[in-house]
């Protein structure tokens, strides 16, 4: 199934200069970059993006962290891209993420886990619309 997903290199990944490495992994997998921007997330956008975690003990820290420096927001397109990109990112907690995955190869602690990715078609649509206007996304021809 052709899908789009929202992926984001978090402030720790940007600071550690992993943008190119991460983009490269998804490109080599055969996925297509449909939109991208380097930006700093406002507290308001952070609260919206992480709305489902409101009330959790780590929520304040999460908002503080995600607004602490530039992020690299992306939309990727491909067959089953939501599930495939989640496999490539690895488990949320880097201690459970297998070597060979992004979090398994580069992360150590759960709060600083390098990358975010949508976990379902519903959250992909919500997050893409939260971060991008339609004019900021490109369309690839159907044969790709
Ligand atoms: P992400 O996929 O961006 O979605 C929610 C984020 O909350 C998650 O990645 C983690 O970075 C963060 N998170 C989840 N559990 C914890 C935790 N116990 N402590 C701190 N941060 C957490």
41-60 pLDDT per residue, tens: 999 999 999 999 999 999 99
Decide if 116 is catalytic. yes
Complex confidence, ipTM: 0.90
**Cα dihedral 28→34→38→40 (10° resolution):** -120
> Which residue CA neighbors atom 18 of ligand 1 most closely?
58
| Residue range 24-46: mean pLDDT, rounded | 98
pLDDT digits (tens, 9 = 90+) for 78-102: 999 999 999 999 999 999 999 999 9
Residue 101 Cβ inside 6 Å of ligand 1? The answer reads: no
Q: How far is the CA of 87 from the centre of ligand 1 (A)?
A: 17
| Model pLDDT, residue 143 | 60
Q: Domains in the chain, start-ordered, CATH in brackets?
A: 2-136 (3.30.70.141)
Q: How far is the CA of 50 from the centre of ligand 1 (A)?
A: 10
């Amino acid at each position: 199934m052709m899908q789009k997903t929202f992926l984001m290199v978090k402030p720790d990944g940007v600071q550690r200069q992993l943008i190119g490495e991460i983009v490269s992994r998804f490109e080599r997998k055969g996925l297509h970059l449909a939109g991208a921007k380097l930006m700093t997330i406002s507290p308001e956008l952070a609260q919206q993006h992480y709305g489902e975690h409101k009330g959790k003990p780590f929520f304040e820290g999460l908002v503080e962290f995600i607004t602490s420096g530039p992020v690299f927001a992306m939309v990727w397109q491909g067959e089953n891209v939501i599930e495939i990109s989640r496999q490539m990112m690895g488990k949320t907690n880097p201690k459970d993420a297998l070597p060979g995955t992004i979090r398994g190869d580069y992360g150590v602690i759960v709060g600083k886990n390098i990358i975010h990715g949508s976990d379902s078609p519903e959250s992909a649509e919500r997050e893409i619309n939260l971060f991008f206007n339609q004019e900021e996304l490109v369309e690839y021809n159907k044969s790709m």
